[in-house]
């Protein structure tokens, strides 16, 4: 980092001048990257340091974002060790415009290297921290410890059965940390590492009543059971049902009949795992109706999920062309939560009503 940039950091009040001088001295004497010292030892916030870099270099600051997938073609003729040492990476290409993230946009030698590597392009620079650039490199080349595809699929089971913090109030689903996004990134990274010539991720939608029925439907359509079982990672079924309006939501004590309907819908053999008993203080939620929801009692949508993971037992059943009921039994034994069960869980959380769940989850 140049002295004028360090002065800019000190001027912003990110670090005391005495600490900055000590960091510079330690960096030189111990041959430690100054950025690492500022972030780890002196606790300079990453976003604040990045913002200072953007102001100094007069270009956008780009931090690491796991949702960004780098086209492997951009890295095809570039050495990983060189990019790591030089601290730059091609982020994306749109026509003849190439977006580069680099730790020093003023470095003329690196600029010449980039133009030689990508002739005929217009380079658009953004500044990034060295560790963020390195993380992009690790992920793009499949060397990051982001979890295997199987591990990420396991996280999807949790996502399918758990509401995100704050979702009940906002009515929106934030996908920033979604395992779905990480799964897509990991598939691309592993394909690049294995030298695949083409990568196709096709979110295919098939209208069936459950994830298990999707399997039998595809087999009925002519899919080879052995090839399908070998390729299947999982099947995700989803429904949207009406969400109780947060502006007029109220709690009430349901009748014994309502409780019994929930138990029957969830399955008496599974209900005890929820730890819900019919007591005098047990409550559910409903919407009174207000101006905000046009007196309907509902505003927004809540998602119901059912994730069938392609375990070895499930794959064996697919290869044997087992009946839907048999596959469902094994899937639930392995912990799968059905659409109806997931909906009832959200009824108990006060997000929707059982009537709305039945309307979309039972056909």
Query: Structurally, how many domains does the chain consist of?
Result: 3
Residue 256 CB coordination number (10 Å): 8
Task: State residue 171's pLDDT score.
Answer: 40
- The alpha carbons of the chain give a radius of gyration, in whole angstroms, of 27
Task: State residue 247's pLDDT score.
Answer: 92
333 and 255 in a single domain? The answer is yes
Task: State residue 343's pLDDT score.
Answer: 94
Task: State residue 96's pLDDT score.
Answer: 92
Query: CATH code at 297?
Result: 3.40.50.300
CA quadruple 236, 240, 241, 242: dihedral, nearest 10: 150
Domain span at residue 39? Answer: 5-44
In a domain, 55, yes or no: no
The Cα 85–Cα 106 span in angstroms is 16
Domain boundary (141, 157, 181) is at 141
The answer for residues whose C-beta is within 8 angstroms of residue 149's C-beta and 6 or more apart is 183, 186, 187, 190, 233
Which helix (H) or strand (E) covers residue 80, if one does? helix 80-86
252 and 314 in a single domain? The answer is yes
Burial of 18 (0-12, 13-18, 19+ CB in 10 A): exposed
In a domain, 236, yes or no: yes
Query: pLDDT (tens digit, 0 to 9) for every residue of the chain, 363 residues total?
Result: 544 666 666 666 777 788 878 877 887 888 777 878 888 887 888 888 888 888 888 999 999 887 787 888 888 888 888 998 999 999 999 889 999 999 999 999 999 999 999 999 999 999 999 989 998 888 887 766 555 555 555 555 555 445 444 444 444 444 444 555 556 666 656 665 566 555 555 555 566 678 888 888 888 877 888 888 888 888 888 888 999 999 999 999 999 999 999 999 999 989 988 999 999 999 999 999 999 999 999 999 999 999 999 899 999 999 998 888 999 999 999 899 999 999 999 999 999 999 999 998 876
316 and 220 in a single domain? The answer is yes
**Model-level pTM?**
0.47
The answer for residues whose C-beta is within 8 angstroms of residue 242's C-beta and 6 or more apart is 298, 300, 301, 302, 352, 353, 356
Query: CATH code at 117?
Result: 3.30.300.160
Task: State residue 139's pLDDT score.
Answer: 83
In a domain, 170, yes or no: no
């Amino acid at each position: 980092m140049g002295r004028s940039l360090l002065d800019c950091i000190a001027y912003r009040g990110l670090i005391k001048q005495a600490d900055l001088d000590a960091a510079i001295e330690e960096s030189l004497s111990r041959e430690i990257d100054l950025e690492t010292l500022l972030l780890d030892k002196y606790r300079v916030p990453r976003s604040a340091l990045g913002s200072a870099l953007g102001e100094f270099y007069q270009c956008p600051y780009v931090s690491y974002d796991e949702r960004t997938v780098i086209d492997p073609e951009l890295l095809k003729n570039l050495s990983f060790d060189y990019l790591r040492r030089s601290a730059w990476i091609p982020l994306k290409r749109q026509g003849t415009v190439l977006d580069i993230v680099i730790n020093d946009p003023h470095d003329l030698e690196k600029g010449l290297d980039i133009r030689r590597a990508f002739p005929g392009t217009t380079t658009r620079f953004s500044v990034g921290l060295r560790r963020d650039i390195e993380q992009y490199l690790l992920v793009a080349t499949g060397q990051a410890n982001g979890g295997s595809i199987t591990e990420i699929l396991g996280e999807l089971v949790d996502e399918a059965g758990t509401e995100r913090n704050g979702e009940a109030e906002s009515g929106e689903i934030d996908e920033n940390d979604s395992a779905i996004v990480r799964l897509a990134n990991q598939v691309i990274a592993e394909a690049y590492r294995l030298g695949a010539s083409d990568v196709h991720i096709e979110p295919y939608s098939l209208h069936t009543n459950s994830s298990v029925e999707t399997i039998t439907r595809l087999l009925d359509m002519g899919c080879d059971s052995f090839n399908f079982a070998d390729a299947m990672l999982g099947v995700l079924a989803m429904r949207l049902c009406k969400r109780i309006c947060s502006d007029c939501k109220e709690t009430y004590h349901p009748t014994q009949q309502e409780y019994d309907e929930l138990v029957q819908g969830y399955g008496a053999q599974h209900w005890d795992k929820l730890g819900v008993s019919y007591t005098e203080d047990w409550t559910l939620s409903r919407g009174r109706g207000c101006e905000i929801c046009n007196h309907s009692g509902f505003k927004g949508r809540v998602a119901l999920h059912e994730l069938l993971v392609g375990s070895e037992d499930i794959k064996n059943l697919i290869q044997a062309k087992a009946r839907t009921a048999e596959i469902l039994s094994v899937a639930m034994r392995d912990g799968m939560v059905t659409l109806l069960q997931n909906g009832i869980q959200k009824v108990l959380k006060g997000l929707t009503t059982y009537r709305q769940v039945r309307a979309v989850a039972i056909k």
